[in-house]
Amino acid sequence: MPESFIKILAAIAPAVVLAFIMLRRDKRPEPIGWLLAAVCLGILIGPIILTIGDIILPDIPADSFFGAFMTSFVNAAIPEEGLKFAALYLLAKRCRHFDEMFDGIVYAVCIGMGFAGFENILYLFGAEDEWMFVGVSRALLAVPAHYFFAVIMSSFFSLGWFDKHNRRFYLTAAFALPVIVHGLYDTLCFSMSLNEDLSGLILILFLLGFKYIRNYVKSLTNTMLNLDGYDSTK
């Protein structure tokens, strides 16, 4: 089997697994065509990010904590989460099946996993001899992180979509909160390579934050199911 084919499988497998886990929780499954459309929108975000990165986004060296912070937010969190938000909004406007709170999570996860799969392919093919290590580390951290960002965004997006009185507040939160969490995640990742003396402490903070976000995301998914009138324990 060609190595390039194995790399592609290794890159997309974590995203497929996480998307499948969320799809299984959907009590009223969405049409496969719209799910694939969401995945394609997520994949499309990748080339757009690469294009605007070359043309618009500034080249900020991540050789200091401030540089890592700015790079994480300006070059990654804001454009990536902004385009995911735009994709989810476009899909929600056009899809008549977007009629339950949990639908937002399903479509947002498909968008996020489409993007994560595309991003993984770039990282694995760019890693050369270390692609296996990169693949494992991203399967355990980066891909679940994009999954978490998607659930956070979509939970508040759904609240705003179905609550016209508080729409502006919830939709603002749907964009802002994933940007903040994504930016801090990337900042910690960059910071671990900047200061070896503090790398252990940063890793502990990183893992504690990751565990907290994971529990918060689980709570959000259960809340959306409950708001739709389903039993989230089943």
Whether 231 shows a pLDDT value over 90: the answer reads no
**Distance between CA atoms of residues 224 and 217, nearest Å:** 11
**In whole angstroms, how far apart are CA 10 and each of 6, 43, 116, 128, 174?**
6, 16, 12, 14, 30
Domain boundary assignment for the chain: 3-227
4-46 pLDDT, tens digit each: 889 999 999 999 999 999 999 999 999 999 999 999 999 999 9
Closest among 160, 165, 163, 190 to 85, alpha carbons compared: 160
Question: Half-sphere exposure of 160 toward its Cβ, with a 13 Å CA cutoff?
Answer: 19
219-228 pLDDT per residue, tens: 999 999 998 8
pTM for the model: 0.93
| Per-residue pLDDT reduced to its tens digit, 202-215 | 677 777 877 888 88
Residue partners of 217: CB distance under 8 A and separation at least 6: 147, 148, 151, 152
